[in-house]
Amino acid sequence: MSKAKVAVTDELLDAYVNRPLAQYVVRAVHRTPVTPNQLTLTSALFGTAAGVCFAMSDRFALLAGALCLFLCMVFDCSDGQLARARGGGSVVGRIYDGYADYWVEICLHVGILVGLGNVRLEVQGHVLDSFERFLLVLAAGVSMAVNSGRFDFYKQRYLAHTGAAREPESPEMFRKEADRSSSIVAKLALRLFAHYVGTIQKGDGFQASVDAARFTASDPDRVERYSQEHGPLVRFWSLSGPTMHNAAMCAAACLAPFAPQAFAGYCVFAVVVVNAYTFILWILQRRVLRREQIVTA
């Protein structure tokens, strides 16, 4: 099993557990007709099954849900590895992977919401009703989406400034791919994603950030300085990424048979602890960005 250097943009659980295990999956299917998209679908099926299991109060189902979510994370790392082992992935594959991730997270949080309906949740003598439980799980899901998106933003920014990323994806890229595709589903997915990318890239701010990244990446000294300034922060941001949230859900599922309020504990962790942590990181990030603006001014 080959060992690659762990990049600062890697989530640690992925780097040290999920990807090494995913290599075994890739080795098993590399010479078979199995495609990366089929591995993406397998990951989504495991994630969906985990959500169904989380909705149950049976101890076996909860532990099975934790296992399914773990396998979901492993297979989620295997699709890209298989694509690279066969010479590279496709635009459609990257989009399917993103859509599958969103679907899984929705299933997981819906499962948690249903499962909490069978648990008595009391805060300082007040028993949470159905609407309050819904708000708690919704807040956890939104928090996960926001913090995962923020980590992805700083990750992509770091990769762009250090020259490790390709040119920014444009809406035209996905529209052209949609025109070439013969699949109606792929066409729809590509056009929706083109609209999403176009919304993100509106205004002069996006182009200014692209120009700044190219300026940094064009000089090795600037890249080294940027890496030293931003690398540690990106590593800290990675601890608020999607894999960390999924790992917390796995832990809650393992504890739930013995502590029924464990999933509520996950929600509090996602809403309170993670956001307090990222708020501190945001303050530190702002200081680094201000120093960066002074240097480049």
Residue 117 in contact with residue 254, Cβ under 8 Å?
A: no
Predicted local distance difference test score (pLDDT) of residue 95: 84
Angle, alpha carbons 14-15-20 (nearest 5°): 90
Q: 3-state DSSP call for residue 63?
A: helix
Which among 229, 238, 242, 221 has a CA at the least distance from the CA of 284?
229
Mean residue pLDDT across the chain: 88
Q: Worst-scoring range by mean pLDDT, 5-14, 97-106, 140-149, 254-263? A: 5-14
Task: Please say if the pLDDT value at position 30 is more than 50.
Answer: yes
Task: Please say if the pLDDT value at position 2 is more than 60.
Answer: no
Q: Rounded mean pLDDT of 180-184?
A: 83
Q: Which residue has the higher pLDDT, 33 or 177?
A: 33
Return d(Cα 138, Cα 219) in angstroms, integer. Answer: 45
Q: What are phi and psi of 40, to 5 degrees?
A: -60, -45
Dump pLDDT digits (tens) for 274-294: 999 999 999 999 888 777 664
Burial letters for 85-109: b for 16+ Cβ neighbours within 10 Å, e otherwise?
A: eeeebebbbbbbbeebbeebbebbb
**pTM value?**
0.88
Task: Please say if the pLDDT value at position 238 is more than 80.
Answer: yes
12-163+218-296: CATH, from 3.40.50.620, 3.90.550.10, 1.20.120.1760, 1.10.3720.10: 1.20.120.1760
Predicted local distance difference test score (pLDDT) of residue 122: 86
Delimit the domains of the chain by residue range: 12-163+218-296
Dump pLDDT digits (tens) for 48-97: 999 999 999 799 999 999 999 999 999 999 998 998 888 876 777 888 88
Q: How far is CA 50 from the centre of its chain?
A: 17
CA atoms within 13 A on the CB side of 8: 20
